[in-house]
Amino acid sequence: MFLKNTWYVVCSSSDLTDKPLGRTICNERMVFYRDEHQHVAALEDFCPHRGAPLSLGFVKNGQLHCGYHGLVMGCEGRTVAMPGQRVKNFPEIRTFAAHEQYGFIWVWPGDPARADTALIPHLEWHNNPAWAYGGGLYHIQCDYRLMIDNLMDLTHETYVHANSIGQPEIDETPCETSVDGDRVVTSRRMYNIPAPPFWRMALRGNGLADDVPVDRWQICRFTPPSHIMIEVGVAHAGHGGYDAPDSHKVYSVVVDFLTPETETSMWYFWGMARKFKPDDAELTQSIREGQGKIFSEDLQMLERQQQNLTRHAGRRLLNLNIDAGGAHSRRVIERLLKTD
Amino acid sequence: MFLKNTWYVVCSSSDLTDKPLGRTICNERMVFYRDEHQHVAALEDFCPHRGAPLSLGFVKNGQLHCGYHGLVMGCEGRTVAMPGQRVKNFPEIRTFAAHEQYGFIWVWPGDPARADTALIPHLEWHNNPAWAYGGGLYHIQCDYRLMIDNLMDLTHETYVHANSIGQPEIDETPCETSVDGDRVVTSRRMYNIPAPPFWRMALRGNGLADDVPVDRWQICRFTPPSHIMIEVGVAHAGHGGYDAPDSHKVYSVVVDFLTPETETSMWYFWGMARKFKPDDAELTQSIREGQGKIFSEDLQMLERQQQNLTRHAGRRLLNLNIDAGGAHSRRVIERLLKTD
Amino acid sequence: MFLKNTWYVVCSSSDLTDKPLGRTICNERMVFYRDEHQHVAALEDFCPHRGAPLSLGFVKNGQLHCGYHGLVMGCEGRTVAMPGQRVKNFPEIRTFAAHEQYGFIWVWPGDPARADTALIPHLEWHNNPAWAYGGGLYHIQCDYRLMIDNLMDLTHETYVHANSIGQPEIDETPCETSVDGDRVVTSRRMYNIPAPPFWRMALRGNGLADDVPVDRWQICRFTPPSHIMIEVGVAHAGHGGYDAPDSHKVYSVVVDFLTPETETSMWYFWGMARKFKPDDAELTQSIREGQGKIFSEDLQMLERQQQNLTRHAGRRLLNLNIDAGGAHSRRVIERLLKTD
């Protein structure tokens, strides 16, 4: 149910310090650390000596030491040394391809030989002075595909996020969904509507009037395995909407990386990259807090939905037009799973 | 193990406000709400769109709206509307017969066609100026039949409730048990004994001396599926006991509605209806607090007993004379289950 | 996986007061109490009446009363009395042999007829004015044999207890392991090394210089089922090490009684008996606190190791020279299990 030969986000770069980090991804317990060149290594979180988790150990001179009896594990999964032992014949442990790029640590849970860092999605806003970024992480007890459904159908904003980004015009405006190979896009454009509270805050943050009609857009882009970038924003009405000049709009990309933990749990990396007032750190913090609060409103719904689906396994659900984005994304995953 | 074609208490009337209420009863997840006529509706807690729990939604103009994507569900289990959708062919969800009466919401978890509100037990103390009522709810991790045993054998008061309503005279006085069709009655009458603390409080509350010998009675009445009304009280000794005039006694009915949640958990609605000083709200509150504290003393015992029985499934237990009330009640349930 | 016809520690003598104590040992739920002669009795924690746990009851005049309906249980597992009942034909419950000795309560979970108190290990430091003792209890979610491994291979001190008793010289010094019947001994002697912090504290506690080179010893003695006594200490270097006169050393025995609770959980009774400054209660308390802190450092490692092994059942682990103590101890248990 999840692709393994692909890149998933493990954590943000700053979360991997000089200590090892343990994390379960696609049902595999992994340990991550930085070697002597600060390159990221990823291994099975299992010491070949007695099965202790290596993530309880420590890193010294770029080498991972088991915290139980001091076995030194190499980034190739072969034991390098252990006090008083000949380690040549120690069994190997699994390794995973890992890579640091665009401010995140990425892992390829499948065959390391097939891992190609060129396949890591390009994040143009990273280290780009025209952009600012802020984000966070939620651990959610649901199948990651329920979150794909959620993000590829933003009509839920009207109900789940009624006081921040929801507004009835979302429901009233049909979305358009298209598929291009492995990519799915579902988009909605609304014209001459009031701006909801979150976007009023953003307009003010960009020095723009917040009490005039706006044009609003939502362009959700799914790429496998489960990355969803959503172009969002509002422009003062009548200046071209999505294509309005920067001086009349607020433009952002909602960044969503969904990393499966188990069949019914996931890591949700969320964030927002914006293309206005990139140097305003206070604004970055306001947006991050606002977004964190909004996105937390989905958690209970998703976890309770998962419980319902677990109780009623096999029960048929509806696939409406609004679900087309999620349905097509799931179909892409299904197709890719056949050759994964 | 539980009857389904019968009425169970869901909650007190005041607990069902203008928000939907989710509750699992007899292994079914249900959602309850009030329609535009304030009538109670009960549905499967499952949105036919994507399986979200409807109980996380909201009620507007007497209609239940799913909190995820705004589907409007009718009280007949058919979707009424959804923004931008034709809903005619949406699958139906299950409905349950529900009814509000005597200050409670009642549900019939079985076949709605067989639900007859005339079968709701008559609670004469409801809205009756001669009576006052106070009560509460406990959620207990045990088979509801362990609570039937508990309530149909009050010798446990001597041990579990030693400091409030227990006294050795309960143990020393045999009980009498009789069966009349589906009804089981087990009763005990004690004469010329000291009143235990709870009853001394009640005597004082009724303006009666609390330091004189009393006659005490306990008449436990089981009716299916799991309602147990217990006439309790004390009278100053020598005035006729149970039949003493109101001026010399305190007379109450302990009200117990047991609603199965799962095989090993239950909702326990407890309360006390009294026939003295009905207008004394402070006394109602004192009694409610006292009873709540007393009844909470049973919880650990019942939950640990359940754990023991789960570990030792099939192990034979004793059915003593004191257990006759519970044993006969269980037999009534067994018999009715054959045609449920 | 655990021996049943053997003695395990239940609790310290002072933990068994005038209340019954419930504890699961070797998968059996037991209740312990003191009879009218203050002798310890152990029974199945199951009232033959309705399955209530007897450990929720009370002890009166040395008799155990069920807290639900007052059944009085005798220490032979036969009901002695119950208010208003003839108890002659009540079914018996299981009894276990139990005994109080050397400051602990001991239980024999297997056949009581085979229980021989002469088999309780002799603890020479108990009530011996030349010795002082302090200890405690941890409840750990792991197979008790992981703790045997832990205690019979002290190289882990260098890593898990790096700031208290660990030092690189442990790793650098080979251990010697020998087997004599059911007894396993693994020992290590280090000469002319610095004393680590815990031992510097102990040296000061005994009025000795803490900044001079020491000789250090660790002699781990396993006896079935899972008792491990570890002679530990340091002497000022050059005075004979382990055999140095008392005036130049600090000598203690680490006392470890491992009592299986289930296949993956255990009770860990730990303590230290010392042969210096036995009357210094403050020192006893300092050592107990220090040891408690040190031993708590093992808990997370052991519990996470257990989780890893549960996930990877059957995966081969390494048996190195340092693991010889644990491996031989496990083999003794395996051999004894065949005739247990």
pLDDT tens-digit readout, A95-111? 999 999 999 999 999 99
The span from the CA of C28 to the CA of B29, in Å, is 36
pLDDT at A285: 96
Same domain for B88 and B147, yes or no, is no
> What phi and psi, each to the nearest 5 degrees, are found at residue C150?
-60, -45
User: A25 has which bridge partners?
Assistant: A28
The span from the CA of B114 to the CA of B340, in Å, is 11
Same domain for B63 and B169, yes or no, is no
Same domain for A184 and A305, yes or no, is yes
| C-alpha R_g of chain C | 22
User: Which chain B residue is nearest to residue A301, measuring alpha carbons?
Assistant: B52
Q: Which of B72, B55, B52 is nearest to B63 (CA)?
A: B72
Q: Which of C52, C15, C49 is nearest to C32 (CA)?
A: C15
Residues on A contacting C at a C-beta cutoff of 8 Å: 29, 45-46, 48-53, 56-57, 65-70, 82-85, 90-91
Q: Measured between beta carbons, which residues in chain B are less than 8 angstroms from residue A159?
A: 57, 65-70
User: Does residue C125 sit within a domain?
Assistant: no
Q: What does the pLDDT average to over B27-31?
A: 97
User: A133 has which bridge partners?
Assistant: A273
Same domain for C192 and C253, yes or no, is yes
The span from the CA of A114 to the CA of A322, in Å, is 36
Residue C286 CB contacts under 8 Å (≥ 6 apart), including other chains: C201, C205
pLDDT per residue as tens digits for the range C262-302: 999 999 999 999 999 999 999 999 999 999 999 999 999 99
Among C57, C84, C119, where does a domain finish?
A: C119
Please judge whether B84 and A172 are an interchain contact, meaning their C-beta atoms are less than 8 angstroms apart. Answer: yes
pLDDT per residue as tens digits for the range A40-76: 999 999 999 999 999 999 999 999 999 999 999 999 9
Contact C254, C232 (CB under 8 A): yes
Same domain for B152 and B244, yes or no, is yes
Same domain for B279 and B309, yes or no, is yes
User: Does residue A126 sit within a domain?
Assistant: no
Tell me how close the Cα of C142 comes to any Cα of chain A, in angstroms.
Answer: 12
- Domains contained in chain A, number: 2
Helix B197-205 / helix B281-311 crossing angle, nearest 10 deg = 160
Among C119, C145, C168, where does a domain finish?
A: C119
User: Which chain A residue is nearest to residue C319, measuring alpha carbons?
Assistant: A49
Q: Which uninterrupted H or E stretch holds A43?
A: strand A40-44
Same domain for B166 and B101, yes or no, is no
Amino acid C183 reads: R
Q: Is residue C28 very low, low, confident or very high in pLDDT (cuts 50, 70, 90)? A: very high
Please judge whether C171 and A48 are an interchain contact, meaning their C-beta atoms are less than 8 angstroms apart. Answer: no
Residues on B contacting C at a C-beta cutoff of 8 Å: 149, 153, 155-156, 158-160, 168, 171-172, 174, 300-301, 304-305, 307-309, 311-312, 315-318, 320-323
pLDDT per residue as tens digits for the range C169-210: 999 999 999 999 999 999 999 999 999 999 999 999 999 999
Tell me how close the Cα of C168 comes to any Cα of chain A, in angstroms.
Answer: 9
Domain that holds residue B41: 8-119
Contact C264, C241 (CB under 8 A): no
The span from the CA of A182 to the CA of B63, in Å, is 40
* Among A46, A68, A73, A92, the residue to mutate for chain C (most C Cβ within 10 A): A68
Q: For the beta carbon of residue B229, count every other beta carbon within 10 angstroms.
A: 18
pLDDT at C329: 98
The span from the CA of A296 to the CA of A302, in Å, is 10
- To which residue do tokens 């699961």 refer? C24
Secondary structure (3-state) at A121: coil
Half-sphere exposure of B334 (CA within 13 A, CB side): 7
Task: Write the residue in C50, C68, C82 that is nearest to B160 by C-beta.
Answer: C68
User: Does residue C287 sit within a domain?
Assistant: yes
Q: What does the pLDDT average to over A276-297?
A: 95
Same domain for B308 and B178, yes or no, is yes
Please judge whether C301 and A49 are an interchain contact, meaning their C-beta atoms are less than 8 angstroms apart. Answer: no
Task: Quote the strand ranges of B4-131, DSSP E.
Answer: 8-12, 21-25, 28-34, 40-44, 58-60, 63-65, 72-73, 79-81, 95-101, 104-108
Contact C5, C340 (CB under 8 A): yes
Q: What is the sign, positive or negative, of the torsion defined by CA atoms of A106, A109, A113, A119?
A: negative
Q: What would the DSSP string read from start to end of A158-176?
A: HHHTTTTT--HHHHHS--E
User: Which chain C residue is nearest to residue B303, measuring alpha carbons?
Assistant: C52
CATH classification of the domain holding C331? 3.90.380.10
Please judge whether C51 and B305 are an interchain contact, meaning their C-beta atoms are less than 8 angstroms apart. Answer: yes
Q: Measured between beta carbons, which residues in chain C are less than 8 angstroms from residue B312?
A: 46, 51
User: Does residue B1 sit within a domain?
Assistant: no
The span from the CA of B242 to the CA of B249, in Å, is 8
Q: Is residue A141 very low, low, confident or very high in pLDDT (cuts 50, 70, 90)? A: very high
Same domain for B324 and B198, yes or no, is yes
Q: For the beta carbon of residue B245, count every other beta carbon within 10 angstroms.
A: 9
Helix A281-311 / helix A144-151 crossing angle, nearest 10 deg = 120
Tokens of A119: 């396949």
pLDDT over 70 for what percent of chain C?
100
User: Does residue C75 sit within a domain?
Assistant: yes
Among C95, C119, C143, where does a domain finish?
A: C119
The span from the CA of B197 to the CA of B255, in Å, is 20
pLDDT at A128: 96
pLDDT at C287: 94
pLDDT at C126: 96
Secondary structure (3-state) at B267: strand
Q: Measured between beta carbons, which residues in chain A are less than 8 angstroms from residue B85?
A: 320-322
Same domain for C170 and C289, yes or no, is yes
Same domain for A176 and A312, yes or no, is yes
Tokens of B172: 């020393």
Tell me how close the Cα of A83 comes to any Cα of chain C, in angstroms.
Answer: 6
User: Does residue A86 sit within a domain?
Assistant: yes
The span from the CA of C80 to the CA of C64, in Å, is 10
The span from the CA of B47 to the CA of B79, in Å, is 9
Report the neighbours of A using a cutoff of 3 or more CB pairs below 8 angstroms.
Answer: B, C
Q: For the beta carbon of residue B117, count every other beta carbon within 10 angstroms.
A: 13
Q: Is residue A326 very low, low, confident or very high in pLDDT (cuts 50, 70, 90)? A: very high
Q: H-type helices in C10-95, by residue range?
A: none
- To which residue do tokens 């006439």 refer? B231
Report the neighbours of C using a cutoff of 3 or more CB pairs below 8 angstroms.
Answer: A, B
Q: What does the pLDDT average to over B191-206?
A: 96
User: Which chain A residue is nearest to residue C326, measuring alpha carbons?
Assistant: A50
User: Does residue C216 sit within a domain?
Assistant: yes
Q: Is residue A146 very low, low, confident or very high in pLDDT (cuts 50, 70, 90)? A: very high
Q: Which of B54, B116, B109, B93 is nearest to B259 (CA)?
A: B109
pLDDT per residue as tens digits for the range C48-62: 999 999 999 999 999
> What phi and psi, each to the nearest 5 degrees, are found at residue C321?
-60, -40
Report the neighbours of B using a cutoff of 3 or more CB pairs below 8 angstroms.
Answer: A, C
User: Does residue B126 sit within a domain?
Assistant: no
Q: Is residue C13 very low, low, confident or very high in pLDDT (cuts 50, 70, 90)? A: very high
pLDDT at A11: 98
Task: Write the residue in B315, B316, B322 that is nearest to C69 by C-beta.
Answer: B322
The span from the CA of B42 to the CA of B75, in Å, is 7
Amino acid C237 reads: A
Q: Measured between beta carbons, which residues in chain B are less than 8 angstroms from residue C67?
A: 159-160, 301
Please judge whether A321 and B84 are an interchain contact, meaning their C-beta atoms are less than 8 angstroms apart. Answer: yes
pLDDT at C58: 97
User: Which chain A residue is nearest to residue B86, measuring alpha carbons?
Assistant: A320
Secondary structure (3-state) at B104: strand
Q: Measured between beta carbons, which residues in chain B are less than 8 angstroms from residue A312?
A: 46, 51
Q: Measured between beta carbons, which residues in chain A are less than 8 angstroms from residue B68?
A: 156, 159-160, 301, 305
pLDDT at B141: 98
* Among A145, A153, A159, A298, the residue to mutate for chain B (most B Cβ within 10 A): A159
Tokens of C127: 């009530």
The span from the CA of C28 to the CA of C260, in Å, is 10
The span from the CA of B165 to the CA of B180, in Å, is 29
pLDDT at C25: 98
* Among C28, C68, C72, C73, the residue to mutate for chain B (most B Cβ within 10 A): C68
pLDDT at C290: 94
- Terminal alpha carbon distance of chain C: 11
CATH classification of the domain holding B52? 2.102.10.10
Please judge whether B159 and C67 are an interchain contact, meaning their C-beta atoms are less than 8 angstroms apart. Answer: yes
Please judge whether B70 and A317 are an interchain contact, meaning their C-beta atoms are less than 8 angstroms apart. Answer: no
User: Which chain B residue is nearest to residue A302, measuring alpha carbons?
Assistant: B52
pLDDT at C77: 97
Amino acid A61 reads: N
- To which residue do tokens 């002290």 refer? C154
The span from the CA of A276 to the CA of A271, in Å, is 15
Task: Write the residue in C56, C70, C84 that is nearest to B301 by C-beta.
Answer: C56
Please judge whether A158 and B91 are an interchain contact, meaning their C-beta atoms are less than 8 angstroms apart. Answer: no
The span from the CA of C197 to the CA of C205, in Å, is 12
Same domain for A167 and A64, yes or no, is no
